Chain A
Amino acid sequence: MSIQTILGNEAIALGVVEQGCRVVTAYPGTPSSEILSGVVKFKKQLNRNIYTEWSTNEKVAFEVALAASWSGLRAAVAMKQVGLNVASDPLFSSAYTGVKGGFLIIPADDPGPHSSQTEQDSRLLALTAKVPVFDPSSPEEAREMVGLALELSERYRTPVILRPTTRLCHAVQSLEIDDLIPPENAIPEVKFRKDPKRWTATPKFRNLLHKELNNKLLEIEEEFNKSTLNFVLYDDINSSIGIIASGVAFHTVEQSLAELGNQIPILKIGTPHPLPRKIVEEFSARFDKVLVIEEPDVCIEIQLNSREKVHGRFDETFPKAGELTPEVVTSILHTIFNKAGITVNSPPNDVELEDLVSSLPLPIRRPRLCPGCSHRSAFYTIKKEFGSKGIYPGDIGCYTLGMNLRAVDTFVDMGASITMANGFYQANQILNDKRPIIATIGDSTFLHSGIPSLINAVHTGARFVLVILDNRTTAMTGFQPTPANTELADGSDAAQNVSIVDLVRACGVDYVKEVDPYNQDEFQELLQAAFEYSQSLSGSVAVVIADRPCVLYDPTPLNENPIPVVITEECDGCRYCLEVFECPAMSLSSDKSRVDINQKICVDCGQCLDSCYKGFILPDLTSIINKQEVPSLTRSD
């Protein structure tokens, strides 16, 4: 036994490994990404035989793990909450068919949202899909719930959701960890057994399966009514107000009550779907007023038979959007308790200072593409060629930050750049709008869901330029491999890599060119030619693949050919380069008279040379000669 500090996602991963999951799949997405990398870490540490993969997308990940479950093995799949939208088709279907080996779905929700396009509640999707949910409140509880969820999944032959949120996934907690967990590598005596009424159920059988599922949920609700995961804290305290809370919000309420110096009964719900209604009703009957505190939406509240004395998000006692931080909850509870005549401490925070600080005109720090990022070079050149008259549908990844260079006008969801370009083209045909359309998508996102979009665009005769920004990794979420890499999730180099250019051709695209976006002139010529092709008589979608590795993932090509730059004395601080090139290594001097290069973060990519139209940014010849690395380089002016 040792005490370690451990990340929430790794605590989940430890549970998954300990509980004998044999197939674990995922598609990366904040805040879920460290679950699968944690499984890889612990399977190596504990010498477990587990198949792990970074799948092409969440639907793929779901189905790969599901088949393992249908073969009788324990399996788990992880993703971020919007990923469950992508996997919702098999989610709904597998709730009907049921499973065999324990099957755990782990979608990570993001109240706030901190790094997602929505604040959606996966528990509500589970409610619609009729899948039971475990709602952990801490890393420690998440680890425990993994086993309980898998066991329930096996007993009722149903998929089960373990639903963490950002503050759990990225929380670090001190945790007791057993040093020796016996390896469980024996091959279980299970195998896939054919069962047409279930695995290939036609609508007639689906009807029966639906009834079976409804019965399962009734039985599971009965079981949840007895579960120790649903319990009352401060049960013996006399109060006119009671609180029902689940997930991370439970500990938030505990902290708020501690700050307010008060204790009132809290019903902690660990299993919000199906809601253990008997417990909830017995608890509620004791109070004049019941507060429901949950994130990010109303899964418990929506299942209540009566909301007569209930206050939550529906009546806006708690805000309908945004994270329930201790600050938010404490302030709301403070008001409610005061009104009810319950004495409480005042929160110690200095409201005056808080208001003062929030009223200060402090400049925000916008997230930006890294110095040397190949996406910056691509966006710079795209913008140079098509200017502000271009329409720029973008996509999900680091390169969404192309918006800083005004080269991303829209983003919706994974793969939408291509379909939006397709739709803009058709709308523009009707509107007689001749503006060029240039869509951008990353390599991982293209493989995730760009391919059907591209087929559709080619098939329906849309005409636009698609730039695939291939930086050879899933950079935003921490360099997970894509199907175009030879690397597998376990770090081995045994994957069969697929070719993006071949895939593009197979989608029916005739015009496809590959270019290093660092070669800005060549890239610009190709963009021009691609656009002309797309508009020509026999033209169609034209694809340009901007091929250069992420500078953080693989700096080798950069190191082989460094081009340090200087900004000459003549610089007049006009800020043009700051606007169009938008590099974090360039900033206005403190007296605003000129632009300086911050040598501490500049990576000598030399990509900014073109961004001063006055010619004041030049290769630093002395530095190059001193380094004796590129002696042949000459002044470009």
Chain B
Amino acid sequence: MDKLHNLMFAGVGGQGSLLIAELTSMAAADAGYDVKQTEVHGVSQRGGSVETHVRFGKKIYSPIVTPGEADVVLALELLEALRFAHYAYPGKGIILVNDHEIIPGSVSGAEDMYPHNAKAFLRDKKMNVITLKATQKAHELGDGRIANVVMLGALSTLIDIPSQSWQKALKLRLPTRYLDGNLKAFAAGEQMVRKENAAV
């Protein structure tokens, strides 16, 4: 309980990165940690890059995670993983990324600038990268929107929050009619990361 946790959630507006950050904060609070979370919204909610910081531990001062201090950078999209990669703790931090690309529109030539080699780049820089096909899994489960909760399930295997706190947060925060799908997505994410680890 004394360990300080720094988490960074990154994604594209509309992917639900704020929701899984909130769920993490709720679960951490339920587990008895002091929790602080911060995000910036406004124009960023309309298709921009979205970053949410969650910190928990015995005593938290600022809610903002400093680059180089995140235990986990959870990215729902590959370009965003790259954009926030330097937040991961050198050598120890994990980049947990959804193997999914969203090409930014609107900016001329953005298609040409998209770094399709993001995964290789991060591995090359000796980052601890776990890539999961969460969007694909979510579609298999029948709802592409729950890729965020698949990723949350994966995150839950990497940080010290008891299972019942996660379950409580999901039940408290999500509308009943979506709960079943989300619980399945969460469980699928847990399994995927375990498989990935077994393979390594």
Q: Which positions in A face B, CB cutoff 8 Å? A: 3-5, 30-31, 112, 114-115, 138, 166-167, 170-174, 248, 251-252, 254-255, 258-259, 325-327, 330, 347-350, 353-354, 356-358, 360-370, 398, 401, 404, 476, 578-579, 582, 584, 586-588, 592, 600-601
Contact = CB atoms under 8 A, between A and B. Distances in A.
Contact of B125 (A167, A170, A356, A404): A356
B157 to A, nearest CB: 22
Given A362-B83, A363-B113, A251 B104 contact: no
Contacts of B41: 30, 115, 170
- 9 A-B pairs closest in CB distance: A349-B68, A115-B42, A174-B29, A172-B37, A254-B61, A363-B110, A255-B62, A30-B42, A255-B61
A582 B106 contact: yes
A111 to B, nearest CB: 11
Interface stretch (B43-51, B177-185, B186-194): B43-51
11 contacts: A167-B38, A172-B25, A174-B25, A255-B66, A327-B64, A353-B90, A364-B49, A364-B107, A367-B47, A368-B106, A600-B144
Given A251-B61, A325-B66, A363 B79 contact: yes
A587 B37 contact: no
B102 to A, nearest CB: 8
A587 B107 CA distance: 11
A6 B9 CA distance: 19
A339 to B, nearest CB: 21
Given A167-B64, A354-B68, A358-B86, 10 more contacts: A5-B37, A167-B63, A170-B39, A174-B34, A252-B64, A360-B82, A362-B79, A364-B49, A476-B42, A587-B105
A251 B60 CA distance: 9
Given A252-B64, A369-B46, A173 B35 contact: yes
Contacts of B22: 5, 172
B67 A354 contact: yes
Interface in B10-55: 12-14, 22, 25-26, 28-30, 33-49
Given A347-B68, A357-B85, A588 B36 contact: no
B40 A115 contact: yes
Contacts of A252: 61-62, 64
B166 interface: no
B160 interface: no
A173 B144 CA distance: 30
A353 B44 CA distance: 25
A353 B125 contact: yes
B120 to A, nearest CB: 13
Interface residues of B, number: 55
Nearest to A30: B42
Interface of B: 12-14, 22, 25-26, 28-30, 33-49, 61-64, 66-69, 79, 82-83, 85-86, 89-90, 103-111, 113-115, 125, 144
Nearest to B116: A590
A309 B87 CA distance: 35
Contact of A404 (B29, B62, B106): B106
Nearest to A400: B43
Contact of A578 (B25, B36, B64, B105): B105
A354 B125 CA distance: 12
Contacts of A353: 68, 85-86, 90, 125
Contacts of A115: 40-44
Contacts of B106: 366, 368, 404, 582, 584
A259 B108 CA distance: 41
B29 A365 contact: no
A349 B25 contact: no
A361 B107 CA distance: 13
A326 B86 CA distance: 15
Contacts of A31: 42
Contacts of A354: 67-68, 86
A255 B86 CA distance: 19
A88 B58 CA distance: 42
B82 A364 contact: no
A348 B64 contact: no
A367 B46 contact: yes
Contacts of A326: 62, 64, 66
Contacts of B110: 363
Contacts of B48: 365-367
A356 B125 CA distance: 10
A167 B51 CA distance: 13
Contacts of A360: 82, 115
Contact of B46 (A30, A173, A368, A592): A368
Given A251-B61, A348-B68, A350-B90, A365 B34 contact: no
Nearest to B83: A362
Contact of A4 (B29, B33, B64, B113): B29
B77 to A, nearest CB: 10
A38 to B, nearest CB: 15
B172 to A, nearest CB: 10
A254 B62 contact: yes
Given A115-B41, A363-B114, A258 B61 contact: yes
A354 B107 CA distance: 24
Contacts of A350: 67-68, 86, 90
Contacts of A582: 105-106
Nearest to B23: A5
B174 to A, nearest CB: 15
A444 B64 CA distance: 33
Contacts of B103: 587-588
B66 A327 contact: yes
B165 to A, nearest CB: 12
Contacts of A476: 42-43
B74 to A, nearest CB: 16
Contacts of A362: 79, 82-83, 113, 115
B46 A586 contact: no
